[in-house]
Each structure stands twice: as structure tokens, then as C-alpha cells.
Amino acid sequence: MPKSVWINVCESSADAYGALLMQELQRITPGIRIMGMGGRAMRRQGLETVYRAEDLSLVGVTEVFTALPRIAGYLQRIKHLLRKERPGVLVLMDAPDFNFRLAREAQRLGIPVIYYIAPQVWAWRRSRIKFLKEFVHRVACIFPFEQEFFLSRGVPARYVGHPLLQLMDLPQLEHLRTDDNMIALLPGSRRREVTSLLPVFTEAAQELSTIRPGLKFGIVQAPGISRDLLQSHSMDLPGLEYISSEYRHSYLKSCSMALAVSGTITLECALLEVPAIVAYKVSWPSYLLGRVLIDVPYISMPNLILGRGVFPEYIQNHACRKQLLQAARNWLVNPDEADAVRRELKKVKNLLGDRNATRTCAEMILGAM
């Protein structure tokens, strides 16, 4: 029986991918021991949990700064367990500010490191490339352009495909019909995202309902976000529903458009061919620092994959009722423009590869042990 695997997931958004990876590792190697840090889905899959991913789901520089003492404690505890348990491989998913420190410790201990859901160094902080070359055994890329980017800079990398395709039953969802009067509100999986953007989304939605009576709205409730939090930051809307995260794909497929926080949910909208208006806000220090460091033209992954601004994007002060209302109203009164967006979105699925990302990554992990 091979040594154990340690998987470290610090973001609740990567938890579902971590659970898929665990499932595949357990299928290939029954009885394999998997330890680490993860979210609800990984815990349900049997993770020997050291810490919960949702406890480190933070946004922005200032938000992380206030949590530094807790983060330092987590790091010391995990490093101690890595020394004690000596897993056969360390799998890191996203969260480079936290996970890089574990990669350094793993190399010192002779534990190979696989980075799955790699840091987006092609977008910002390219100085991290040197770290990846030195401390990571291999990067498992989930976007098609990443492999060439990493290999050209001397980082061992392989494109495995995007695991999101395995979480979405796209052939089955294709049979669902779109309701022109349904609009989704997607306020995100972090408390700060909800508190800063859901009020704006619902203000815009309320005005849309006066433009077209009969519109129906649904707020998708992400894991870890309470109904009370959503209700306390939203306005009364006609026909308002709260949609559990597990039913979001079938609900989204039925919607004519969405108001969405920037994140994985925008990629889900793209795969479901749902036009989305994307918004994002962080603290002002985080925003100002990001303007200096971030080197990509878009914030939403569908736009980056397609290389053009298919989804309208509004950041910081521009993520306001007036701007979102104008963009949504444009699609309501000009359905041909929304249809043009849907045609562009059909290309995203083909660009993301097949449905074998998790299996390919699991084989890479086991081969490194």
C-alpha cells in the first residue's frame, strides 16, 4: 500500500475539486489514506481533516492581514504534521500565499509537491515562477494556455483539463429551456462578497422589475453562506427565490442572464451559455495594490479564455446599481445582443478539454510517490 497523500485546500471554492480528486485517488488505490485541509465536500469524502478550508476563505490584503496570527498557527501545525506523518506527496490547490510555505517545508523533507489549480502567475506576481521551478515537482494546469506559459519558463507542467466539467452534467442540462423572465443573482461564497455586492444586485433587480413586470429573480446560496445573511443584505423582489448551491446548474440553465460576482461561478455561467454581468469589490488598499500588480485585461475567466470582453465587467466604484442596471437592461431590450453572447460562450467548453482532468491529475500524483 502506498504512502498517504496530503491535500491542502484553503479556499471553499476549490473544495469540490478536492473531493473529486479524493474520489479518484480512492478509486485507483482503495484504502489510500488522505489527510490535510479541506472543506465540506472533502470531509464528506473521508478527509482526515486538520483544518477547515472555510476558516481561511479570505479576500484581499487587509482581510488577510487581520487574520495573520491565526494563519501562522495553522502553518506551524501543518508543518509539524508533515514532519510527523511524512506523506508520499503533498498536493496543493490554489492559495499560494499559504501553500508556498508548505511547499518549501515539503522540499526540505523530501516530499514531492504537485500543484493542482495553480497560482495565476500569468496574471500577477510573476516573481513566483522562480519559486515554482525550485519547489514544485509538477504543476497540473486546468486552463489550456497555462501549460505553454509554465513550460516556456522552465516550470514542469501538464494540462489536465478543467475539473468543473465533471461537476456539471452538461448533456442533461442541455434539455432545459430558458425562461426569458428569470434572472439569477450570484453574490459569491465569501461573506464580504455578499455584503458588498448583493445589495447592489438587488437594487438593480428591483429597477429591472419596473422596466419589465413579470421578471423573477433567484439568489443562489453558496455553501457556508447562511440564508439570514442573504436576506439581511437583499431587498424585496417580485418572485424572489433562494436557490441551494446543489441545484444551481439546473437553475442557471433556465435563466436568461445573471448578475455575478467574479469567480468560478462566471465559468459555470459560460459553460451553461448564460450571459453574465460580472462585478467585484474589495477593500481600497487591496484594489489599489491590485491595479499595480495585476497584468491581465479581464477579471472573469470566460473573458480571459476567449480573449475578449464577452461578459461586461464592473470593478469597485463601477460595480454600482446604475452600471449593472444599464448592462442588464441592454440585454433585456436587445435580445439579439444577448444571443450573440451565447454564441460566443459555446466556444468555452471546447477550449476546456474533456472530462478526464481529475483522473489525469490523480495518476500524476500517484506517479510522484
User: How distant, in Å, are the alpha carbons of 55, 57, 74, 174, 270 from that of 67?
Assistant: 10, 11, 11, 43, 34
Q: Give the start-end residues of each E strand in 168-303.
A: 179-186, 216-221, 241-244, 255-261, 276-280
State the Cα–Cα distance between residues 315 and 336, nearest whole angstrom: 26
Per-residue pLDDT of the chain (369 residues; tens, 9 = 90+): 457 999 999 877 689 999 999 999 999 999 999 999 999 999 999 999 888 887 776 544 445 566 678 788 888 999 999 999 999 999 999 888 889 999 999 999 999 999 998 877 655 566 788 989 999 999 999 988 888 889 999 999 999 989 988 988 888 898 899 999 999 999 998 888 999 999 999 999 999 999 899 999 999 998 879 999 999 998 888 789 999 998 999 999 999 999 999 988 999 999 999 999 999 887 655 655 555 455 567 788 899 888 889 999 998 889 999 999 999 999 999 999 999 999 999 999 888 867 788 999 999 999 998
Domain 5-162+353-368 has CATH 3.40.50.2000: yes
* Domain 5-162+353-368 and domain 170-351 have a common topology: yes
Helix 191-211 to helix 321-333 angle (10° resolution) is 50
pLDDT, one tens digit per residue, over 64-101 is: 566 678 788 888 999 999 999 999 999 999 888 889 99
Model pLDDT, residue 118: 82
Q: What residues form DSSP beta bridges with 242?
A: 219
Instruction: Show me where the domains of the chain are located.
Output: 5-162+353-368, 170-351
φ, ψ for residue 9, nearest 5 deg? -120, 120
Return the CATH architecture of domain 170-351. Answer: 3-Layer(aba) Sandwich (3.40)
Which residues, including other chains, have CB under 8 Å from residue 137's CB and lie 6 or more apart?
Answer: 89, 112, 113, 114, 156, 368
Q: What is the pLDDT of residue 60?
A: 45
Query: In whole angstroms, how large is the CA radius of gyration of the chain?
Result: 21
